[in-house]
Amino acid sequence: MSQPTFSSTSQTTITPHNQQPFVTRNYPTESELDATIVRAAEAQKAWAKVPLEERIKIGRKFIDEFKSLAQSSEPNLSLELTLQMGRPISQIQAEINGFLDRAGYMLSIASEALADIPLTDTDKPGFRRFIKRTPLGVILVIAPWNYPYLTSINSVLPALISGNAVLLKPSPQTPLTAERFASALVSAGVPPDVIQVVHLSPELTRHAVENKNVQFVSFTGSVGGGKKVEEAAVNAKGFKGVALELGGKDPAYVRADADLDYTVAELVDGAMYNSGQSCCAIERIYVHESIYDPFVEKYANIVKQNYKLEDPTLPTTNLGPVVSLASAERIRKQVDDAVKAGAKKLIPEELFPEAKIGTTYVAPQVLVNVDHSMDVMMASPTTNPHEETFGPVVGIQKVSSDEEAIKLMNDSPYGLTASVWTSASTSESSEEAFLNIADQIETGTVFLNRCDYLDPALAWTGVKDSGRGISLSRFGFDQLTRAKSVHMKIKTG
């Protein structure tokens, strides 16, 4: 199986495209893990006393350290990540750039986001009152494999800048990403016990979540994984916070006045990039009936002509394998089930000869004649434990009105992102129409004329089964700190 293999004491990462072992990491014992957490708790006390501006300065040095690491030939971060999770090497630099951009933005707002909030006391002479943000303590960050740098930066760096210690548990599919991240932080001046990488089995992960010295858990991954983390946190002694950034079944609605050429190209990329393995990838598209036929024709033509499914280490490849054989089988089954239920495939699989049964190469597919009885359009955690298609597959459905599109977009247990495609940028009335639609969509982020993107200035959050908690933006600092009120009666006379 081209997914990590496990023993009771170790994990081995399997390279998706050639199914060869890549790297093995050993697990600690429970007592060793407990000792690691104790060291983090002790180191955090000293780290919290480092002035905020000094921590920010270390953060800026970290950016320089990581840039140098990314530019070096040994290790080759791009090749290393491709070999771990299968994304084409031609696309890895974009994740590294995004990682650094998010780091820079969160550092730029840290002073303001973490500053004391004074209260004016003109109505209460003799008193001084203010609210300060204080660190939580030890934070466990559980990162996924599909964008391991981009997702981990969202919580790790803000947690450290806020004065917390961090235990970073990477996916067993991408263990080296956490090690590179932590190495650059330590080189920049973060004490080694303040940022520690922990490779853990599911049982050890639960043990860490339940540990009394872990005050907060930030988890990014599946709904099933999020439920297990929350259950462990509830079973722990005392009370601890949990942020759950989970899956999505993200929709797009193309209105009658959309710029067709631009919209089609963007939505193809939004569905196919990283082989569709993104929590905010486009999985279902609703198109106004007046432009449905030309939209579908243009969409299918781009997919047929623009993608090369091959070895992801080749610089010409722009569509790589999915992460595992199990994932490939599940994606193919969703497509087959949809076809049996009446859907029509528009992409001949012979255009992609690498996509053979028994491999991790999955041909991109565009489905029409779809409806919400099919998992490709409305996966349910009750009937489909994997929630998302998480592959290079999209369904396109015809709608007759904004109202029908809104109803279908909301007909999902998930609500991470949604996008609307219209000429709102050139028409005040169209912008008003977009904002009216945006208010009715049950989602954490709503886009106009773009998709599959995180702006670090905006809060990244979900509704319904897409989870709870916030990362990025100034609100991302709030969940990694607690408010502490200071109320002073000043003696006068």
Cβ–Cβ < 8 Å for 488, 126: no
Query: Where residue 91 sits, what CATH number does that domain have?
Result: 3.40.605.10
Residues in CB range of 300: below 8 A, 6 or more apart: 346, 347, 366
156 and 281, same domain (yes or no) = no
293 and 354, same domain (yes or no) = yes
Q: Looking at residue 378, what is its pLDDT?
A: 86
Residues in CB range of 420: below 8 A, 6 or more apart: 252, 253, 255, 434, 437, 438, 441, 446, 447, 448, 449
274 and 186, same domain (yes or no) = no
d(C-alpha 115, C-alpha 122), whole Å:
21
Residue 354, domain member (yes or no): yes
Query: Where residue 444 sits, what CATH number does that domain have?
Result: 3.40.309.10
- Terminal CA-CA length for the chain: 78
296 and 432, same domain (yes or no) = yes
Residue 172, domain member (yes or no): yes
Omega within 30 of 0 (cis) for the link into 75: yes
38 and 186, same domain (yes or no) = yes
238 and 304, same domain (yes or no) = no
226 and 288, same domain (yes or no) = no
Residue 323, domain member (yes or no): yes
Q: Looking at residue 212, what is its pLDDT?
A: 95
Residue 491, domain member (yes or no): no
DSSP E strands in 302-392: the ranges are: 344-345, 365-368
Closest C-alpha among 175, 171, 238, 176 to residue 209:
238
d(C-alpha 485, C-alpha 397), whole Å:
53
Count of domains observed in the chain: 2
d(C-alpha 259, C-alpha 261), whole Å:
6
86 and 229, same domain (yes or no) = yes
d(C-alpha 12, C-alpha 172), whole Å:
7
Residue 461, domain member (yes or no): no
pTM flag (> 0.85): yes
Q: Two tokens at 488?
A: 């002073």
User: Choosing from 95, 245, 283, 388, which is the catalytic residue?
Assistant: 245
Handedness of CA 428, 433, 439, 442 (dihedral sign): negative
CA dihedral 267, 271, 272, 276 (to 10 degrees): 160
Q: Looking at residue 94, what is its pLDDT?
A: 97
259 and 242, same domain (yes or no) = no
Cβ–Cβ < 8 Å for 25, 201: no
Q: Domain containing 373: what range?
A: 250-455
Per-residue pLDDT of the chain (493 residues; tens, 9 = 90+): 457 888 889 999 999 999 999 999 999 999 999 999 999 999 999 999 999 999 999 999 999 999 999 999 999 999 999 999 999 999 999 999 999 999 999 999 999 999 999 987 666 778 889 999 999 999 999 999 999 999 999 999 999 999 999 999 999 999 999 999 999 999 999 999 999 999 999 999 999 999 999 999 999 999 999 999 999 999 887 789 999 999 999 999 999 999 999 999 999 999 999 999 999 999 999 999 999 999 999 999 999 999 999 999 999 999 999 999 999 999 999 999 999 999 999 999 999 999 999 999 999 999 999 999 999 998 654 455 445 899 999 999 999 999 999 999 999 999 999 999 998 555 566 788 899 999 999 999 999 999 999 999 999 999 999 999 999 999 999 999 999 999 998 876 5
Q: What is the CA radius of gyration of the chain?
A: 24
- Taking CA 110 as the corner, what is the angle to CA 108 and CA 115, rounded to the nearest 5 degrees? 135
Cβ–Cβ < 8 Å for 92, 147: no
User: Which segments of 309-450 does DSSP mark as H helices, in order?
Assistant: 325-340, 375-378, 402-410, 428-440
d(C-alpha 45, C-alpha 193), whole Å:
11
Q: Which residue type sits at 156?
A: V
Residue 490, domain member (yes or no): no
229 and 255, same domain (yes or no) = no
Q: Among this protein's residues, is 54 annotated catalytic?
A: no
d(C-alpha 119, C-alpha 100), whole Å:
35
Residue 492, domain member (yes or no): no
356 and 236, same domain (yes or no) = no
225 and 87, same domain (yes or no) = yes
Q: Looking at residue 10, what is its pLDDT?
A: 97
Residue 143, domain member (yes or no): yes
